[in-house]
Structure 1
Amino acid sequence: MKAAHDRAIMSRYDFRKSGVKVVYAFMVACIVLISLSMLYPFVNTFLNSLKSTKEFFAFPAPFFPSKWLWGNYKESLTYLKIGMHFKNTIFIFAGNTFFSLTFLGLAAFSLSHLRVPFKKWVTLYFMSTLLIPSASYLIPNFLNLKELGVLNSYWAFWLPAGANAFFLLLLKNFFDGIHKELFESARIDGASEFRCFLNIAIPLSAPILITLILLGFASTWNDFYWSSLVMQEDKLPLAAAIYTKIIYPGSTINWNVRFAILSMTLLPPLVVFLFFQRYIIGGLSLGAVKG
């Protein structure tokens, strides 16, 4: 007996129509153009890193270098301590991940499955902070951290990470989807609320937790403005170090060497998102706001 297959959006019969073929070809062409436009900056950055200074400033500039100068990458290492700044970035990311997932996870679990007084108002309070532009509380955050004496330390990143309302929203909506009967059965067996959180909520929340970790990695890797405000040179993450030492208008480093540094720093996030993009899409869908 022939196995039944689910019908696709367009069947073979649909493709026999000339109008469908035209629309389908147009959609494919749009996808190809969008893909090329997104890939162009990455390819152009890499190729510019291999050009000579003369080729870089030539007009019209050649797309491919006549000679691939891999020495630009070796020269770039003399201008920036990539290893040190990469280590700073990893420390910041690790602390942000721990504080955000620990404190926001406990808060989201409490708002979802515990009897919290004025639960709806507390949730509304946290969610209303998403309506405030981040630039408006940049200076108050800086002044608060200055009063606490944590400037030029990793705590200047870790403490604000524990109050991320967007992560709280995603976690709470995911926890809302976990059946309360699971926790009630655990409580009957003598499990505490914290044990329910660790042994039931956390294992079932792997998709959204992976998503938040990846989003946190992207935020930490790309952040340069806040880092340049609260950190000094020896503790700057990679993005802030590149901005202050390489990209800043006063820099005298050759542009082909600058692009070599940018090409090296593009690689880690590119690899991460290529391998884990399905977790991001799936996690955001599972943690989406329910209608």
Structure 2
Amino acid sequence: MKPPRDRAIMSPHDFRKTGVKIAYGFMVIGVCLISLSMLYPFVNTFLNSLKSTEEFFAFPPPFFPSRWLWQNYKDSLDYLDIFLYFKNTLYIYAGNALVSLTFMGLAAYSLAHLKVPAKKWISLYFMSTLMIPAASYLIPNFLNLKDLGLLNTFWAFWLPAGANAFYLLILINFFEGIHKEMLESARIDGASEFRCVLSIAVPLSVPIIVTLLLLGFSTVWNDFYWSSLVLKTEKLPIGAAIYTMIIYPGSTINWNVRFAILTMTLVPPAVLFLFFQKYIIGGLSLGAVKG
């Protein structure tokens, strides 16, 4: 006996109606057009990376290259040490993830489950910083790091990551959903608060932690403005390196080679988010603000 299927929004009986078929057809066409419009930049970047210089500047430009020049990818390595900048990106990301999740996680747990004096005012203080434009505290952050002698070091990324109010907001709302009875039982058995965090809060928080890790990766991968201010060329992450050395006006690199570099940098985040998108959607839903 087959298990009953879940009831969909529209049943087979609904599809017998002509109006429903027409409306559903327009919906499918709309979704397909939106998908094509979103995929076109990625496909066009990839195909341009395989064209010759003549084909790239031809008018009207051909959509598909006449010959697939994979040599462009090999030539791109002569202009950009992509492995060096990829390693820099991973270093920055690993430090950001460790510092932000450690400090924001402990702070969120304290504000959610411990008797902290003026808890609401502290939470309000951190949440209010989300309303301040990032550009307004860019220069103060730069001057503070300069006075500390941390320019051109990865600490210029790691220290600000320890005060991420967005992470704090998400984690507080998630931790508040953990039943207090579980924590009380652990305390009765002699567990310390730190043990409660490691043994109960962290295992239950895997979905939201994975979500924040993926969002943090996207932020570091795409960053170029802050990193171009605080780091020199040899320590730049991949996004800033490409902008500074490949995209910036005055670069003499052939455009087909530039697109080869851009294609290589598109692949890791695209693959990552393709396979982990369910964690992002699920994690943000779990950590959403509750009414």
TM-score norm. by structure 1 comes to: 0.98
SS in 1 for 2:116: coil
Rounded Cα–Cα distance in structure 2 between residues aligned with 1:284 and 1:18: 38
- Structure 2, unaligned runs of 5 or more: none
Question: Are residues 1:222 and 2:222 paired?
Answer: yes
Q: Which amino acid aligns with 1:275?
A: F
Structure 1 position 5, deviation (Å): 3.2
Residues 278-289 of structure 1 aligned to structure 2 (within 5 Å): 278-289=278-289
Residue in 2 that maps onto 1:33: 33
2:171 aligned residue? 171
Question: Counterparts of 2:227 and 2:245 in 1: how far apart (Å)?
Answer: 14
SS across alignment from 2:35? helix
Distance 1:26 1:271 in 2: 30
Residue 118 (structure 1) aligns with? 118
Distance (whole Å) between structure 2 residues aligned to residue 3 and residue 148 of structure 1: 65
Other-structure match for 2:143: 143
The whole-number CA distance in structure 1 between the counterparts of 2:174 and 2:244 is 39
In structure 1, the residue matched to 2:78 is 78
Q: Which amino acid aligns with 1:205?
A: S
* Equivalent position of 1:51 in the other structure: 51
Identity %: 76
Q: What is the match of residue 277 of structure 2?
A: 277
Give the corresponding residue for 1:103. 103
**How far did residue 3 of structure 1 move?**
4.2
What CA distance in whole angstroms lies between the structure 1 residues aligned with 2:134 and 2:49?
A: 34
Tell me how far 1:2 sits from its aligned partner. 6.5
Aligned residue type for 2:275: F
Match status 1:157 vs 2:192: no
Residue number in structure 2 paired with 1:264: 264
SS at match of 2:178: coil
SS of alignment partner, residue 55 of structure 2: helix
Q: Which runs of 4+ in 1 moved over 2 A?
A: 1-6
Residue 6 of structure 1, CA deviation: 2.8
Cα deviation code 1:245-279 (max 9, x no counterpart): 00001101110000000001111111111111110
The residue correspondences of 1:5-44 to structure 2 (distance < 5 A) are 5-44=5-44
AA aligned opposite 2:202:
I
| Structure 1: runs of 5 or more not aligned | none
